[in-house]
């Protein structure tokens, strides 16, 4: 079984400060990893994903994440927070391959607040 743990249900940063959202996963096979963002009253938008290859993944809106197998982590970072980054962020894991492996297992989410 797979699982995802997001450390910190609520993270607050100042505008211009570093954003660090933590995600650890458990998987019996090499995972595919995802970060999604959900703005208030909206659906889910894919920020970035790791499948294979380069472990540092760049996404939209200046976000990036690094897959660290030894630490079973996939933390999300952004060098400088913007007010528009305020949203809820979800880390998710799936298995490689098709069929039932497409299922996403989500973390419980981290609400990011950006203070002026």
Partner 1 sequence: EAQVTQNPRYLITVTGKKLTVTCSQNMNHEYMSWYRQDPGLGLRQIYYSMNVEVTDKGDVPEGYKVSRKEKRNFPLILESPSPNQTSLYFCASVKQGSNEQYFGPGTRLTVT
Distance CA 15, CA 19 (A): 10
Length of the chain: 116
Indicate whether 103 belongs to the interface with partner 1 (CB under 8 A): yes
Distance CA 38, CA 42 (A): 6
Q: Among residues 20 and 46, whose Cβ is nearest to partner 1? A: 46
Q: Among residues 3 and 55, whose Cβ is nearest to partner 1? A: 3
Q: Which residue has the tokens 């809820």?
A: 88
Site for partner 1 in 68-97 (CB under 8 A): 90, 92, 94, 96
Among 59, 64, 66, 109, contact with partner 1 (rule: CB under 8 A): 109
């Amino acid at each position: 079984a797979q699982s995802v743990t997001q450390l910190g249900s609520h993270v607050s940063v100042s505008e211009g400060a570093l954003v660090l959202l933590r995600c650890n996963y458990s998987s019996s096979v090499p995972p595919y990893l995802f970060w999604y963002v959900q703005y208030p009253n909206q659906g889910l938008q894919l920020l970035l994903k790791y499948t294979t290859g380069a472990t540092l993944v760049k996404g939209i809106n200046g976000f990036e994440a690094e897959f660290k197998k030894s630490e079973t982590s996939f933390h999300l970072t952004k060098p400088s927070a913007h007010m528009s980054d305020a949203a809820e962020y979800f880390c998710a894991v799936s298995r490689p391959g098709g069929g039932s492996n497409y299922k996403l297992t989500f973390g419980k989410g981290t609400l990011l607040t950006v203070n002026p």
